[in-house]
Each structure stands twice: as C-alpha cells, then as structure tokens.
Amino acid sequence: MNLLILSCGTRDKVVQYFKAAFAGEGRVICTDCSPYAPALYEADAHYIVPRITAPEYLDVIYEICKKEAVTGVLSLIDPELSLIAAHETQFRALGITIIGSDYALCERTLNKWELYCWMEAHGYPCAKTYRTMESFCGALALGEVHFPVFVKPMKGSASIQIARADDMETAAFLFAHGEQMIIQEYMTGQEIGADVYIDLISRKVVSIFTKKKLVMRAGETDKAVSFIDEKLFAHITKFVEESGFAGQIDIDLFEQDGVYYISEVNPRFGGGYPHAYACGADHMTLIRENLRGVENPVQIGGYAVDKVMMKYNEMMLIEDVPRDSATDADASR
C-alpha cells in the first residue's frame, strides 16, 4: 500500500503526516517539477518530473506508479486535479485509486462562475456574482449590489489577480484588463475555513474541521482559531454530499448575519490543513483505511476547540541538488 503525492511543493507537513499514518504499512512517494520543492525530501522516495503541461507528463507518472507499486494517488495543486481525474480509467487499470473528486466536479470548483450557478440553482447562500459588466451595472442600478466589490478571475487560485473595487471606474478597469473576470459581492462577515473528508467507499462526510480565519497572507490562512458549530456541520454535509465530492476538500465560507455563505471549494488539501491535524482531525489515517478497503465511521467534531494556529517559516538544508536552467526557473514554486 503505497501513496503517490503529486506536485508536493512546500507541503512538508502533509508529507510528514502521511508518513506517520503509513508507517509500517506502506511508503510515501512524492513528485514535483522542481528539485527545490522541499517536501520532496520528506518522502520515502521522490522524483523530479516534467511540468504537468508536458506531453510526456502522464506517461512519466504511470511509470513511477508501476515502479513503486502505487495504490493511491493525489495532487496538491489545482491545475492537476482535473488532469488526473480525466485519466481515472488509466489509473484504475494500474490498480490505483485517485483520492479526489471526479472530473466534472474538479472543473466546476475551479470555475467560480460555474460553482456560483450550481449553488444558486440548488439554493445555497453565496455571494452575488456577475459575469458581465452589463449584468453588474444592471444589478447596481436596481440596488441589488453595492460597492465595494471584488473583481477576480473566473478561474484562478492563491488570490492571484483578485482586487477590491470601491467605485465603477476601478471595477471597469480591473474587469477590462483581466482574463475572463467576474465581479463578486463583497462579504464583510467572519471568514471560515473547513477541512472535509468524504469517505471513498461510503461517499459520506466522515470528518469536518472548522476554523475562524484571523489573518490571511497570499491567499492562505496565516492565523486561525478552531471552533465547532453543529449548524455549520449540517450545512457543509448537505452541500458536499449533494454535490458528490469524494476524498479531501477545502471549503471557504463567510458567516454574515447568522447565515453561512459558501465562497470557494478546493477539492484537495488546503494550505491550512495542518491546523486540523494538530487539533485531532487526522485525515491521513482515513485515507489509509480507505486504501485498505475499510469504510470509515462518521466522526464529525471531536477535535480540540479554541486552539489558535499561527504559521511561521522553517528551512531545510540538503546536498547535491541538480542545477540547470529549467530547474532554476522553477525554484520560485
């Protein structure tokens, strides 16, 4: 029972947690396109691979899977989620379980407009969103939305190109100078993050960890405090199971006037997951059990509350890292 983590980057803690869960039962293998991805060197074995856009990328991954007798695979970056989901048949033929959601769901969550339309159609509260300047201006004239607003890419992650607009001139400029932009209602309530695991066998939500975000940095939670709210658990469970997600997902929400608004969904481990693990929400063990063919019981809640997570920088020293123009260009990942 061996796990392959694709595009591991700087997610050292995730690799460490998996190694602890798989100790004595299997190995953890990591890949990345850069030799300067520190999480590579936490794994039992690692491989430097082409970029995910390279024509030969998947063939390289399949060969690694065969060599390492991989039984489960997951990715830690958004662009790769749809790629591996689209090739589920090929992975399954190798005896490998993709720990994640299907292709259609990956595509929906990575497209903020499609996700908004689905939530609107299914009655889930969400920030008002506009795909054209005409529809936004019409809603503004009717008083359905007010400044400030957020202008952001329809597809994107890590808060890249997201900006606040306090007036029409700014909103029009940002919308015109971005690629496939949308305009979204500005939410002022408490921002919340949820780390959720959906059992790969039962397809039931078996674990939810929630935190109130205190400080953000570069699109990720920098400081947060854990809390429990049964109403929120029920809301998340209904949304997740009705959507059909599987495996690990990360949900961003806002609580405003007693209502929970779903903002974004990432069908992977979020950057703030170590907070969940440290408080007792061990999703690595749930994944291990699923790969063994064991269905996990529902265990929502039960983690430590009022625990504040504060991120800080760490460093790693290694030797004999290959250097060339290609890998140097990837060093900023």
**From 90-94, 123-127, 153-157, 207-211, the region with the lowest mean pLDDT:** 153-157
Q: Choose which CATH entry (2.60.120.260, 3.30.470.20, 2.60.40.10, 3.30.300.10) describes domain 188-310.
A: 3.30.470.20
Q: Which helix (H) or strand (E) holds 233?
A: helix 230-243
How far, in Å, CA of 267 to CA of 78, rounded? 8
Question: What average pLDDT does this structure show over 155-174?
Answer: 87
How far, in Å, CA of 286 to CA of 182, rounded? 37
Report the pLDDT value the prediction gives residue 332, as an integer from 0 to 100: 37
Question: What average pLDDT does this structure show over 255-267?
Answer: 96
Taking CA atoms, 288 is separated from 28, 31, 86, 221, 282, in Å, by: 11, 19, 23, 26, 11
* Tokens of residue 261, six digits: 């608004």
Domain regions of the chain by residue span? 2-99+316-329, 128-185, 188-310
Torsions phi, psi of 329, nearest 5? -65, -25
Q: What is the pLDDT of residues 87-130, one digit of tens each?
A: 999 999 999 999 999 999 999 999 999 999 999 999 999 999 99
304's CB contacts (< 8 A; 6+ apart) are 226, 279, 280
Report the pLDDT value the prediction gives residue 216, as an integer from 0 to 100: 84
CA atoms within 13 A on the CB side of 41: 13
Q: What is the pLDDT of residues 222-237, one digit of tens each?
A: 999 999 999 999 999 9
Q: What is the pLDDT of residues 11-51, one digit of tens each?
A: 999 999 999 999 999 999 999 999 999 999 999 999 999 99
Please name the fold of domain 2-99+316-329.
Rossmann fold (3.40.50)
Question: How many CB atoms lie under 10 A from the CB of residue 276?
Answer: 27
How far, in Å, CA of 18 to CA of 194, rounded? 20
Q: Does domain 128-185 have CATH number 3.40.50.150?
A: no
Q: Are 211 and 303 in contact (CB under 8 A)?
A: no
* Tokens of residue 142, six digits: 């009717």
Question: What average pLDDT does this structure show over 132-154?
Answer: 96
Question: How many CB atoms lie under 10 A from the CB of residue 27?
Answer: 18
How far, in Å, CA of 111 to CA of 128, rounded? 15
Intrachain domains 2-99+316-329 and 128-185 with the same fold:
no
How far, in Å, CA of 173 to CA of 178, rounded? 9
- Please name the residue that has the structure tokens 């939670």: 221
165's CB contacts (< 8 A; 6+ apart) are 147, 148, 149, 150, 151, 171, 174, 183
